[in-house]
Amino acid sequence: MDPEFITSADWARIGNLLHFFWYAVLCSIGFGFNFLLAHAIIPSLVSTGHIPQSVNRARRMFYIGALGFLSLVALNLIIIASKLDTLTVIWDRSWI
């Protein structure tokens, strides 16, 4: 069975779906940056004495930022899962 003809409305829906994939990637990078900073870089720099001990209290902010980005990743993945019906309109064969 061949795929259906892709209309301009289908292309718009595919573009919208791709935006949420990119948002998930960017939020994943934000999560990784915040978590790495809070869990590895700041404690390492404090223990070697390169930054003052008072900066160690800022780790909570970065952990909260990491949690926020992780929740945005989860939200984007939920939105992506809900919009995947766009692909079944174009290609109605199941992959599984």
- CA dist 30 and 62 (Å) reads 10
- CA dist 17 and 90 (Å) reads 14
pTM: 0.84
41-84: per-residue pLDDT in tens?
Answer: 999 999 999 999 999 999 999 999 999 999 999 999 999 999 98
15-53: per-residue pLDDT in tens?
Answer: 999 999 999 999 999 999 999 999 999 999 999 999 999
pLDDT at 1: 58
Give me Rg for the CA atoms of the chain: 21
Residue bearing the bigger pLDDT, 89 or 28:
28
